[in-house]
Amino acid sequence: MEGKPAKLLTEVHDGRYANAPAVAAFIGHKVMTDGDEERLIMGLAQPLSIVLQQADRLGTVVVQMVAGIFLVCILIAAVMARAVTRPINSLSQAVQRFANGRK
């Protein structure tokens, strides 16, 4: 990883992963040790099918959250519109009654 970014994310489709592709992530971090090593590299691999399944589930949750927030905003807008128009309608009716000569 020398001279390269300290993070790497890759998809593996060959070798032993030909039948079950995997996603692998690696991160390198400089460490101070008494030995010759200057960098610690940690990695994690996960089958691609599990990663895609989790991403689909996350996408579904995000869509549900957006839909819920949208409905709440529509409800708030309707309540606010009613609160604003009610006094205007009341004033309009009072002016109309005054114009007709009634109180």
What's the rounded mean pLDDT across residues 12-22? Answer: 84
What's the rounded mean pLDDT across residues 15-20? Answer: 82
59 pLDDT more than 70: yes
- What's the pLDDT tens digit per position in 22-51? 999 998 887 777 777 777 888 998 999 999
pTM above 0.85, yes or no: no
Cβ-contact 23, 11 below 8 angstroms: yes
Residues contacting residue 97 through CB under 8 Å, at least 6 positions apart: 103
Cβ-contact 22, 8 below 8 angstroms: no
| Rounded-to-integer distance, Cα 46 and Cα 12, Å | 10
| Rounded-to-integer distance, Cα 72 and Cα 52, Å | 30
Helices marked H in the chain = 48-99
